[in-house]
Amino acid sequence: DAGVIQSPRHEVTEMGQEVTLRCKPISGHNSLFWYRQTMMRGLELLIYFNNNVPIDDSGMPEDRFSAKMPNASFSTLKIQPSEPRDSAVYFCASSLETTDTQYFGPGTRLTVL
């Protein structure tokens, strides 16, 4: 299996621009998680889906952030408009409902200038 796939791996954009991060979970996994990692705040859960349905989005910082999971094999995290404080590494992880292990992707390093 290819593991969790994230794209792009690096993104540099200017303040005010729209940013879309993409994730393909491991085939067959039915839970998907979006995390943000910074030096100051560590690893934060932003939102997670179970069977394509958002379960908990309480970690989403503000209305500029939105996430979708239109089908079992694809999810997006969108930031519009982006701000310099959004600069971080964003991870996607997936898991199988009958097990507890979360498998992380390689992350997207976002830099907002």
* Contact residues for another protein, defined by CB under 8 A: 4, 30-31, 33, 42-43, 45, 48-50, 55-56, 91, 93, 95, 97-107
Note whether 82 and 18 are within 8 A (CB). Answer: yes
Query: Least separation, in Å, of the C-beta of 107 and another protein?
Result: 5
Rank residues 82 and 95 by Cβ distance to another protein and give the closer one: 95
The full DSSP string for 30-43 is -EEEEEEEETTTEE
Query: Least separation, in Å, of the C-beta of 96 and another protein?
Result: 8
SS3 84: helix
Query: Least separation, in Å, of the C-beta of 17 and another protein?
Result: 24
Rank residues 73 and 81 by Cβ distance to another protein and give the closer one: 73
Note whether 22 and 106 are within 8 A (CB). Answer: no
